[in-house]
Amino acid sequence: MVRFAYEPLRSSRAIRLIKFLPGSSPICQMITVEVEKAPPYVALSYTWGSTELSRVILVNGSEVPITRSLAEAIDAIFIFARERSMMFWADSICINQADDHERGLQVRLMNSIYRSAEIVTIWLG
């Protein structure tokens, strides 16, 4: 399976959101939108815990490695978000962690990201 490749964000107000596709496991599609024009989404705040990338999810047909803590958080919101056709935002997936410039821009946007979310979910493990 091919590892996921991020496309550059086109503006300083752009964010990536994840949509769960129909099915019994988290298979996802990623879209890019301006934060002020985003459809309803769940912003997921969670404890990072161990940095070991122990699981993968499929995003746009490619593998995205994630931590156990994020996998548990996704499992917790999966059915809720999918049944409501809501997207979700989680920093370690929606921000290209390998791109320092993007990461800096997105960190400055986090206040808007959380304020624009329809629901903010906190996962402590």
CB-CB contact of 125 with 49 (8 Å): yes
* Any domain includes 18: yes
Residue 49 tokens, joined: 């815990």
**Which DSSP string do the residues of 30-92 spell out, in sequence order?**
EEEEEGGGPPSEEEEEE------EEEEEEETTEEEEEEHHHHHHHHHHHHHHHHTT-EEEEHH
* Any domain includes 32: yes
Would you say the pTM of this structure is higher than 0.85?
yes
Give the model's pLDDT for residue 100: 96
* Any domain includes 94: yes
Number of domains within the chain:
1
* Any domain includes 6: no
Burial of residue 85 (number of CB atoms within 10 Å: 0-12, 13-18, 19+) = exposed
* Any domain includes 3: no
Residue 1 has pLDDT above 90, yes or no: no
* More confident site: 49 or 93: 93
* Any domain includes 1: no
Residue 57 has pLDDT above 70, yes or no: yes
Structural domain boundaries enclosing 100:
14-123
* Any domain includes 36: yes
